[in-house]
Structure 1
Amino acid sequence: MASMELTDWNEDKRYLSIATAGSPQELKGRRTACQQVLLEQLNIIPIEEWMDRVNAMHDLIAKTAVNICEAQMKEAGYGLPPCAYSFIVFGSAGRQEATLWSDQDNGLIVEGEPDDDKNRYFTTFGGMLSDVLEEVGFEKCEGKVMCSEQLWSKTLPEWKMQLQSWMGQMEWEPIRYLIIASDMRHVAGSAELSAEWREAFHAGFVDNEKLSTAVLRNTVRHKATLNLLGQVLTERFGDNAGGFDIKYGVYIPLVNIVRHLALLHGIEDSSTLKRIEKLSEMDKYEHLENIRRAFLTALRMRVNTPFVERDGMLSSSDYISGNALKNKQLMSELRESLLLVRRLHRALQRQLRSAERRQS
């Protein structure tokens, strides 16, 4: 991305006004105005740049929501935060790949040992912050990966114990939590707390083949999206009949594959594109340029899926419509990406079988 272009965007008054919003209602209005500008830019600027702008907006909204929430806590009689803390994000936000309709995936890291004052303040703060974020357009996470949930809001020592616990279990659920955690990114508050959290996380993967194999086992769970003849499998029933789930059909499999390789080599970046870049520098893997191209295609297709607007907020099923699939170029790009996903998936399945034989 050209730095001048980013500077021009950052100086847009609608963008800058987000930081000065003083209430959730005001913040929502300024998000809506900024969102409209972004929709006008979609498919005009490169998808990488557009995603950067969307996620820069989301980060600024989150930082402003944190400030609003602190002020609300003070007004409610809780005073100022009793210690430093960090607001962190996971999921697509952690990877800087959130869409205009992405929901919440976030948490808190609190400084020092737990005590009653911290617990009282941050339990209330986390719940209030999640409510504020919902009010400004981020739906609450169905999987409850939110700062309002005890599992994702802890002191740093508690977090370190939690990470060690997940790493010590090779079952599906703790490894799933660990995979979610791997996309953590700092957004607001103490960057030092986030850095120490990240250091503790990646230390657990060093020379830990069993853990890497467990992550690989979760990674290769994959819904078939091509039939034996190499034809794209579309939804047969329901509201999305005739359509294709671009999120779980292409985007998530590519995210998972790249994440696995990044964790295997101690790459700390959370962005899929940055992970691909770091992997490319190693000159160890084939197909990385093809993966990058397929990933950008998946991003472009995902943000162009049909959406609905309610009260200024957008929502989408992440399905490419049946009518859109009649476009020969789109179908050709989709099929090419799916063939790559299938090829990579089969290679990872072979790696998993080999790893399990070594460890049996």
Structure 2
Amino acid sequence: MHNPQREKRLLDIASAEELGQLRFIRETEQDQLATELSTSPIDEVVERLNALHDSLITQALKLAEADMARLGHGAPPVPYTYMLYGSGGRFEQTMCSDQDSGLVYANASDEQEDERCRSFFPKFTETVVQYLIKLGYPPCEGKVIASNPEWCLSLKGWEGKINSWFTEPSWENVRYLLIAADGRPIAGSLELAGRLQEYFFNDLIENPVIAQRMIENTIRYKVLVGVFGQLLTEQYGENAGSLDIKYGAYIPMVNAFRLLAVQAGIRETSTLKRIEALHSASLLTREEADEASEAFIFFLKMRMLTIVTDDKGQWVGTGKISREQLTKEIRLPLKKALKAGRKIQLRVQRELQHRFGGRWRQ
């Protein structure tokens, strides 16, 4: 659909030559989107918000490349791809998402080119990360970020890294594999991203034992609804009466559908697209897919309600729906959505028992 206002915004971002301009556009657009949360379909708001983030990050990369050249570091010596992980990789960022990123660059043709790559890309990724901090994107607390040498590698380096994660399926390595499953390219060579994804899925197929570790990681967070349909809210402390929508609703569904999609060889990264792809692969009925999508879209809306502005006017996320927000109008659809989330999580647990035996706590 033709949207002149949206097209103008994207043109303004693409022509911005200063970080201050980009920061202003981000704040203005997010304020506008916040006013539409109660009047527009939440999936449309999330789509527009993530398109905004993509455009801002892409332009920050262009500015960083230009500044690297201006400072005498030259152009990238080989093609590269800047990757987003986490909610960015899934097209599910909020107003206050942090940086979850990585970079893959083409293998050097000789030692001289390899040396240039080792000199250029660490400086480049550090520049990009600092620019994005100035735009209001804080660095990932878990250090899954392109400026971390562990997440800025050649294609060959990435293949070795992925292979080491599969070879030693510790809790931490499995967590990295699940993070990698959400990765998508935002700028640069799509061919590199495709080759990296191909290597990931080929390794997965050849290492079936990794599935058990992935399932164990996936069911770590429980959906916060009791066996009788009651909400499992915080009982004590300053958050008493609140419900952790991030880790008690949103993340369990993200984890469950990621696992089902990865096991089926589905390469979509968006949770909603994974649900639809699972239906297309006859792994979910139309009714199951519709129920799951409806629940997940509701969780996206609830997650947006946990975003507030601090005393400096910055967007911050609590991840929790407060006692005051849990009105009767919200409780009824929330219980319905949580029951749907619990159903899919139990399905993953049954899959675990079927494949590997044993009994697993629900």
How high is the TM-score relative to the length of structure 2?
0.92
Counterpart code for 2:146: C
1:237–1:8 CA distance, 2 compared to 1 (3 A): farther
Cα deviation, 1:160-205, whole Å, max 9, x if unaligned, reads 1111111222221101000000001110111111111111111122
CA distance in 2, matches of 1:8, 1:46: 20
Unaligned runs of 5+ in 2: none
Residue 289 of structure 1 corresponds to 290
* Structure 1, 228-237 or 193-202: larger mean CA deviation: 228-237
Counterpart code for 1:93: G
Residue 205 of structure 2 corresponds to 206
* Alpha carbons 1:306, 1:320 under 8 Å: kept: no
Cα deviation, 1:80-130, whole Å, max 9, x if unaligned, reads 111111111000010001011111111101111482221111111111111
Residue 131 of structure 1 corresponds to 130
Query: SS at the partner of 1:205?
Result: helix
CA distance in 1, matches of 2:96, 2:153: 27
Counterpart code for 2:291: N
* Alpha carbons 1:245, 1:320 under 8 Å: kept: yes
Q: Percent of pairs identical after alignment?
A: 36
CA distance in 1, matches of 2:237, 2:134: 30
Cα deviation, 1:119-146, whole Å, max 9, x if unaligned, reads 1111111111111101101111110111
* Alpha carbons 1:269, 1:275 under 8 Å: kept: yes
Residue 41 of structure 1 corresponds to 36
CA distance in 2, matches of 1:46, 1:295: 13
Residue 142 of structure 1 corresponds to 141
Q: 1:2-41 maps to which residues of 2 (within 5 A)?
A: 3-4=1-2, 7-11=3-7, 13-41=8-36
* Structure 1, 227-236 or 194-203: larger mean CA deviation: 227-236
Residue 348 of structure 2 corresponds to 348
Counterpart code for 1:255: V
Query: SS at the partner of 2:204?
Result: coil
Q: 1:318-329 maps to which residues of 2 (within 5 A)?
A: 318-325=319-326, 327-329=327-329
* Alpha carbons 1:32, 1:312 under 8 Å: kept: no
* Alpha carbons 1:18, 1:31 under 8 Å: kept: no
* Structure 1, 116-125 or 226-235: larger mean CA deviation: 226-235
- Does residue 220 (structure 1) correspond to residue 215 (structure 2)? The answer is no
Query: SS at the partner of 2:357?
Result: helix
Query: SS at the partner of 2:104?
Result: strand
* Alpha carbons 1:14, 1:33 under 8 Å: kept: no
Please state how far the C-alpha of 1:333 moved relative to its aligned partner. Answer: 1.5
Residue 280 of structure 1 corresponds to 279
Counterpart code for 1:69: A
1:33–1:14 CA distance, 2 compared to 1 (3 A): farther
* Alpha carbons 1:212, 1:263 under 8 Å: kept: no
- Does residue 105 (structure 1) correspond to residue 100 (structure 2)? The answer is yes
Please state how far the C-alpha of 1:238 moved relative to its aligned partner. Answer: 4.0
CA distance in 2, matches of 1:224, 1:314: 26
Query: SS at the partner of 2:153?
Result: strand
Cα deviation, 1:327-356, whole Å, max 9, x if unaligned, reads 112111222222222233233223212322
Counterpart code for 1:72: D
* Alpha carbons 2:307, 2:315 under 8 Å: kept: no
Residue 259 of structure 2 corresponds to 260
CA distance in 2, matches of 1:240, 1:69: 41
* Alpha carbons 1:55, 1:98 under 8 Å: kept: yes
Query: SS at the partner of 1:242?
Result: coil
1:238–1:66 CA distance, 2 compared to 1 (3 A): farther
* Structure 1, 195-204 or 179-188: larger mean CA deviation: 195-204
CA distance in 1, matches of 2:35, 2:143: 32
CA distance in 1, matches of 2:14, 2:314: 19
Unaligned runs of 5+ in 1: none
Counterpart code for 1:138: Y
Residue 62 of structure 1 corresponds to 57
* Alpha carbons 1:15, 1:34 under 8 Å: kept: no
Residue 159 of structure 2 corresponds to 160
CA distance in 1, matches of 2:207, 2:290: 28
1:228–1:275 CA distance, 2 compared to 1 (3 A): closer
* Alpha carbons 2:222, 2:252 under 8 Å: kept: no
1:116–1:311 CA distance, 2 compared to 1 (3 A): farther
Please state how far the C-alpha of 1:228 moved relative to its aligned partner. Answer: 5.0
Residue 241 of structure 1 corresponds to 240
Residue 119 of structure 2 corresponds to 120
CA distance in 2, matches of 1:9, 1:109: 34
Q: How many residues align?
A: 352
CA distance in 2, matches of 1:302, 1:289: 20
CA distance in 1, matches of 2:347, 2:41: 31
Counterpart code for 1:250: A
CA distance in 2, matches of 1:234, 1:324: 12
Q: RMSD of aligned C-alpha atoms? A: 1.9
CA distance in 2, matches of 1:306, 1:142: 18
Cα deviation, 1:198-245, whole Å, max 9, x if unaligned, reads 111111222543122221121111246234543212123444332111
* Alpha carbons 1:87, 1:189 under 8 Å: kept: yes
* Structure 1, 152-161 or 32-41: larger mean CA deviation: 32-41
